């Protein structure tokens, strides 16, 4: 009877002459699987602990010193990265000081808000334009790092930004994309709790370069979304009115932007470069401040780029209509997906566009709910290849040599893969069918 009872309880009867085992409560067995070990190691890693803040700022300071040094020396490859800050931006600043946006200048392709950035260095009269612009860029870089490196957030995003941006060598601080990215990052992070502030930042960024407006596509349906969009419309309208009254020719940029062709570093440009390598009569010209293709099939590729951009916008609207599950990371993930879609379908993919994508990927990594971790790794790899293509081996890219074409196929292949993966993961998490749907997180902006 005793043996039967013990068998029913799942244990073995004690041997004759032995005391029965003590009845102890069951204890949890440590999870020794490889997955659990990796999880414990990740939680203990520097990028997830508050003690890493000092390390982040140390890496930031050392890497930015190196980046600025490279910009001042500017002897990488065949391109002159610092030329825009030394010659082009001061010229625009002088024209703006005279009360007008650049007139008849094909290189002026930016919304009116960009003029404020080019005027800012004049507020530091004790520095020349180049040094004052660097101060502005480094300050914006520090603001992004500070916003990402909050102890209340996962610090993987701060590490991605701090360690990923130097992969672009001297380029980031020789352009004004860090400033625009700072507005987008601040808008996304503020929009979780304060959608009106998020909308205002997005609008301000959009008046410098249009893409920050895409950061509002992921706001959750309902009150927070309406607040964010209303704030963006009011902010953009008010600022546009002020700039239109203060400066002449505020909207001349539209004609230059609409006439852009297929730049050599775009996805369409990579296709044309491969066609040129096969012997087709396709050449390169300097147009609208960039190297663009001319010749057979160029117009067709340009039209296809515009069509795919329209299709990308249609998919984003379809996703937004079908999305039913929101987490705190959904606005971040959707912003990255949207900007990726518009980047890979564009006729122009300048190397500084990687600054935008790194900043948005970094915001995604501040949340444990993000779906974009593998996308961030792909973007990090694409950033490294971008620096090889420009400025390191830009002559090969221009000539369409085997090395240049290989670099562009690899970089743009990584971007395309990241885009498709980003779309898939965003859809699966928020709109796809699931057996155990995650609850929607309300009120996170």
- pLDDT at residue number 49: 62
Burial state string for 53-77 with b = 16 or more CB within 10 A and e = fewer than 16: eeebbebbeebbeebbebbeebebb
Q: Is there a domain that residue 66 lies in?
A: no
Q: Is there a domain that residue 443 lies in?
A: no
Alpha-carbon torsion, ordered 394, 133, 201, 107, to 10 deg: -50
330/335 Cα distance (integer angstroms): 8
Q: Does residue 28 sit in helix, strand or coil?
A: coil
Q: What is the DSSP letter of 263?
A: B
**Which of 56, 43, 44, 39 is closest to 157 using CA atoms?**
56
- pLDDT at residue number 292: 94
The continuous run of DSSP H or E covering 282 comes out as: strand 282-287
Please calculate the CA angle 21-26-32 and round it to the nearest 5 degrees: 115
Residues 6+ apart with CB under 8 A from 304: 268
Q: Is there a domain that residue 25 lies in?
A: no
Q: Is there a domain that residue 72 lies in?
A: no
- pLDDT at residue number 258: 62
392/79 Cα distance (integer angstroms): 8
Please calculate the CA angle 361-362-368 and round it to the nearest 5 degrees: 95
289/286 Cα distance (integer angstroms): 6
Q: Is there a domain that residue 246 lies in?
A: yes
pTM for the structure as a whole = 0.86
Q: Does residue 294 sit in helix, strand or coil?
A: strand
Q: Is there a domain that residue 59 lies in?
A: no
Per-residue pLDDT tens digits of the chain, which is 445 residues long: 444 444 434 444 444 444 444 444 444 444 556 666 655 554 555 445 656 899 999 999 999 999 999 999 887 766 788 889 999 999 999 999 999 999 888 888 899 999 999 999 988 989 999 999 999 999 999 999 999 998 778 999 999 999 999 999 999 999 999 999 999 999 999 998 999 999 999 999 999 999 999 999 999 999 999 999 999 999 999 999 999 999 998 887 777 666 678 999 999 999 999 999 999 999 999 887 789 999 999 999 999 999 999 999 999 999 999 999 999 999 999 999 999 999 999 999 999 999 999 999 999 999 999 999 999 999 999 999 999 999 999 999 999 999 999 999 999 999 999 999 999 999 999 998 765 544 444 433 3
Q: Is there a domain that residue 28 lies in?
A: no
- pLDDT at residue number 214: 96
258/345 Cα distance (integer angstroms): 15
- pLDDT at residue number 41: 54
Q: Is there a domain that residue 296 lies in?
A: yes
Give the orientation angle of helix 373-387 with respect to helix 156-164, to 10 degrees: 10
Q: Find the domain containing 115 and state its range.
A: 77-430
Report the domain count for the chain. 1
Question: Taken in order 164, 169, 174, 175, is the CA torsion positive or negative?
Answer: negative
């Amino acid at each position: 009877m005793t043996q039967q009872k013990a068998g029913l309880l799942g244990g073995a009867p004690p041997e004759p002459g032995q005391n029965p085992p003590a009845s102890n409560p069951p204890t949890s067995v440590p999870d020794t699987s490889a997955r659990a070990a990796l999880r414990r190691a990740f939680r203990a890693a520097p990028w997830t602990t508050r003690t890493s803040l000092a390390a982040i700022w140390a890496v930031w300071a050392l890497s930015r010193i190196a980046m600025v040094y490279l910009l001042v020396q500017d002897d990488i490859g065949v391109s002159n990265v610092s030329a825009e800050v030394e010659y082009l931006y001061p010229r625009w600043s002088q024209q703006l000081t005279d009360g007008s946006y650049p007139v008849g200048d094909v290189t002026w392709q930016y919304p009116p808000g960009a003029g404020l950035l080019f005027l800012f260095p004049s507020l530091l009269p004790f520095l020349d334009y180049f040094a004052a612009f660097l101060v502005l860029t480094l300050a914006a870089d520090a603001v992004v790092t500070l916003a990402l490196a909050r102890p209340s957030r996962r610090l993987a995003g701060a590490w991605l930004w701090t360690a990923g941006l130097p992969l672009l060598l001297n380029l980031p601080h020789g352009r004004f994309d860090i400033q625009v990215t700072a507005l987008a990052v601040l808008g996304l992070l503020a929009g979780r709790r304060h959608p009106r502030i998020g909308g205002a930042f997005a609008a301000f960024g959009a008046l410098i370069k249009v893409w920050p407006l895409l950061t509002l596509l992921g706001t959750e349906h309902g009150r927070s979304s309406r607040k964010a969009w209303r704030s963006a419309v009011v902010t953009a309208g008010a600022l546009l009115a002020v700039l239109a009254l203060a400066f002449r020719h505020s909207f001349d940029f539209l004609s230059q932007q609409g006439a852009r062709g297929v730049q050599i570093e775009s996805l369409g440009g990579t296709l044309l470069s491969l066609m040129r390598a096969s012997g087709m009569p396709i050449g390169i010209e300097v147009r609208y401040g960039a190297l663009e293709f001319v010749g057979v099939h160029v117009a067709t590729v340009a039209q296809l780029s515009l069509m795919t951009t329209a299709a990308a916008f249609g998919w984003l609207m379809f996703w937004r209509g079908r999305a039913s599950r929101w987490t705190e990371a959904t606005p971040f993930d959707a912003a990255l997906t949207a900007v990726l879609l518009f980047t890979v379908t564009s006729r122009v993919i300048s190397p500084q566009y990687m600054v935008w994508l790194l900043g948005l990927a970094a915001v995604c990594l501040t949340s444990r709910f993000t779906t974009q971790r593998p996308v961030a790794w792909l973007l990090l790899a694409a950033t490294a290849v971008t620096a090889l293509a420009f400025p390191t081996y830009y002559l090969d890219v221009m000539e369409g040599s085997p090395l240049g074409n290989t670099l562009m196929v690899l970089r743009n292949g990584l971007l395309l893969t990241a885009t498709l993966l980003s779309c898939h993961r965003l859809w699966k998490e928020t709109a796809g069918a699931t057996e155990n749907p995650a609850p929607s997180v309300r009120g996170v902006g």
